[in-house]
Structure 1
Amino acid sequence: MNEADALDIVQYAIWTVITASGPAVAAAMLVGIGIALIQALTQVQEITLTFVPKIIAIFLMIAVTAPFMGAQISTFTNLIFERIENGF
């Protein structure tokens, strides 16, 4: 294994993490922006108000996109095992 192979694996690993976690992060961001807007409009500045809706949104998004996330991780794992099998 040379440096190009290592960089390729690291790049693919980072891309896998970004694509697998993207839906949950996007849901948390959208809920956070929505609650911040509501807080700004109502002038209720309670910091803890954002945590529960964000957690619920993240759990729901993970439950909905779990097959997609599993497929991404499975594809990455298969790629690594194929490279190990072929001797890089």
Structure 2
Amino acid sequence: MVSGPALIVSMIVGLIISIFQATTQIQEQTLTFVPKLFAIFITIILAGNFMITVLLEFTRYVFRMISQL
């Protein structure tokens, strides 16, 4: 759940770029790196609050389970 938003955006951007590369026959390998990096960075900025909240709730759950042992 924490890495889901970044992975989904990365897959969508990669698919769009690969379709663009197939239609224009540009086979540059570095063309996919920069847009994916930028899209993941924007996604982390926008969904970072959700990702941190999920991670904190999981951490609290783990510590509660440890204390019950």
1:24-44 Cα deviation digits (max 9, x unpaired): 011111000000001111111
Match of residue 17 from structure 2:
35
Q: Which residue of 2 aligns with 1:11?
A: none
Alpha carbon RMSD of aligned pairs, Å? 0.8
Aligned counterpart, 1:25: 7
Q: Within 2, Cα distance between the matches of 1:84 and 1:35?
A: 45
In structure 2, what is the Cα distance between the partners aligned to 1:84 and 1:38? 50
> Which amino acid in 2 is paired with 1:29?
M
- Residue 64 of structure 2 corresponds to 82
Q: TM-score, normalised by structure 1?
A: 0.75
Unaligned runs of 5+ in 1: 1-18
- Which structure: greater helix fraction? 1
Give the structure 2 partner of residue 53 of structure 1. 35
> What percentage of aligned pairs have identical amino acids?
45
Q: TM-score, normalised by structure 2?
A: 0.94
1:62 partnered with 2:25: no
Classify the secondary structure of the residue corresponding to 2:27: coil
Q: Which amino acid aligns with 1:60?
A: I
Aligned length: 69
* Corresponding letter in the other structure for 2:33: F
